[in-house]
Amino acid sequence: MTALTTPAQPSQEAGLRPVPWARMAGVTWRQHRYALAGVAAFLGALAVCLWLAGLQVHHAWAAVASACQPTASPACFDLSTSFIGTDGFLANGLILQAVPALIGAFVGAPVLARELETGTFRYTWTQGFGRWRWALAKLVLLAVPVAAATGALSVLLSWYYQPYFAPNNPALGLKEVTPFFPGLFDLRGVAFAAWTLAAFAIGALAGMLIRRVVPAIVATLAVYAGLAFAAGGFLRPHYLTPLVTSSQNVPGSAWIIGQWWTKGGTFAFAGSPPDSLFNQFCSSLPAGTFGKPSQQTAFQCLAQHGYTQWTSYQPASRFWPFQWIEGGWLLALSVLLIAATVWLVRHRAA
What percent of the chain has a predicted confidence (pLDDT) above 70? 77
The mean per-residue pLDDT over the stretch 61-77 comes to 68
Distance, in Å, from the CA atom of 335 to the CA atom of 198, rounded to the nearest integer, reads 9
For the beta sheet containing 255-263, the strands, ordered from the edge strand earlier in sequence to the opposite edge, are 243-245, 307-314, 255-263, 266-270
Distance, in Å, from the CA atom of 26 to the CA atom of 31, rounded to the nearest integer, reads 9
> CA of 151: how far to CAs of 89, 90, 174, in Å?
22, 19, 31
pTM: 0.85
- pLDDT tens track for 89-142: 677 788 899 999 999 999 999 999 988 888 876 666 666 667 788 888 889 989
- pLDDT tens track for 300-314: 888 888 889 999 999
Q: What pLDDT is recorded for position 72?
A: 58
Mean pLDDT computed over every residue of the chain: 83
Domain boundaries, the chain: 37-242+317-347, 243-316
Residue 229 pLDDT > 80: yes
Residue 67 pLDDT > 60: yes
Residue 144 pLDDT > 90: yes
Winning range, highest mean pLDDT, from 19-23, 80-84, 100-104, 278-282: 100-104
What percent of the chain has a predicted confidence (pLDDT) above 90? 46
DSSP state of 190: T
Q: What pLDDT is recorded for position 96?
A: 92
- C-alpha torsion sign, points 220, 222, 223, 226: positive
Residue 160 pLDDT > 70: yes
Count CB-CB contacts under 10 A for residue 173: 10
- pLDDT tens track for 37-48: 999 999 999 999
